[in-house]
Amino acid sequence: MNMSSERIWVVIPAAGIGSRMNSGTPKQYIKIEDKTILEYTINRFLEHSKVHKVVVALNPNDKNWQDLPYQENSRVITTKGGENRVDSVLSGLDQIRQFEGTEHDWVMVHDAARPCLNPRHIDDLVESKATSPDGAILAIGAVDTVKIANNHQSIEATIDRETVWLAQTPQFFPLETLRKAIRVALDSEATVTDEASAMEVAGYHPALVIGSRQNLKVTEPEDLMLASIWLNRGI
């Protein structure tokens, strides 16, 4: 257990319905081999020595959580998810603050739908804390040429892909700074599709930490095969 004054919490937004997956089961509860996608994701963090506790934001209509093996685990806390991902994340941050979080703590936010995260990337983010006070996110560079489309779905322009980074999660920030930044961003009706968006609106410049295409977000049916391959190889 990490006894330092600066603890690392994890918030896992898991309240989505997975509409793009076209599955009868919310995608975070689809099983690969013997475990659900959500279990792979939660276990990634429970197995990491630097992680204090994990807060999972659940859909209010979630019927599957009760079947997962975390009911008696004191390091796993649940909270009520919200209408959008950002609302679920904020609910998790508020839960931490109400529970035992302090202003010294940091938080990693990681999509439930990214079960193939390699633990070494958690280490990389933790290490980034020493040099990135504004926080950091995992990201990967674009390997294809990047086009900007006009509203008729034809090419408007090509942009220099050296400047293009595809954001992943975890996204790692000081707990209180992130919580306040999200609240300000939402009050200003900014679009917040990841935590870094809110931090940017607040004027911060989070660092980019190299991630991996292995850390894919299971979004559409074809992603399941890729996730299965990675998970069956063992991470």
Ligand X SMILES: Nc1ccn([C@@H]2O[C@H](COP(=O)(O)OP(=O)(O)OP(=O)(O)O)[C@@H](O)[C@H]2O)c(=O)n1
Q: How many helices (H) and strands (E) does the chain have?
A: 6, 11
Residue type, 58: L
Q: By C-alpha distance, which of 76, 206, 63, 187 is closest to 133?
A: 206
By a kind-dependent CB cut-off of 5 to 8 A, residue 128 interacts, out of ligand X, ligand LQXTBERG, none, with none
Distance CA 131, CA 129 (A): 6
Distance CA 16, CA 18 (A): 6
Say how far residue 82 (Cα) sits from the centre of its chain. Answer: 15
78 binding ligand X? (CB under 6 A): no
Which positions from 193 through 212 interact with ligand LQXTBERG, judged by CB under 6 A? 193-194
**Cβ at position 95, least distance to ligand LQXTBERG in Å:** 19
Which positions from 165 through 224 interact with ligand X, judged by CB under 6 A? 217, 219
Among the listed ranges 78-86, 122-130, 142-150, 200-208, the one in contact with ligand X (CB under 6 A) is 78-86
Distance CA 60, CA 15 (A): 8
* Structure token pair of residue 208: 């980019």
Distance CA 211, CA 194 (A): 16
Q: Which of residues 10 and 14 has its CB atom nearest to ligand X in the complex?
A: 14
Residue nearest to ligand LQXTBERG (CB): 194
**Cβ at position 72, least distance to ligand LQXTBERG in Å:** 30
Q: Which of residues 59 and 168 has its CB atom nearest to ligand LQXTBERG in the complex?
A: 168
- CA angle, 59 as apex, 175 and 33 as ends, to 5°? 95
What pairs with residue 38 in β-bridges? none
- Annotate each residue in 74-113 with x if it binds ligand LQXTBERG (CB under 6 A) or - if it does not, as one string: -----------x-------------------------x--
Q: Which of residues 21 and 126 has its CB atom nearest to ligand LQXTBERG in the complex?
A: 21
* Structure token pair of residue 233: 């190889």
Could you list the residues that contact ligand X (CB under 6 A)? 13-20, 28, 57, 81-85, 88, 111-113, 217, 219
Could you list the residues that contact ligand LQXTBERG (CB under 6 A)? 85, 111, 167-169, 193-194, 217
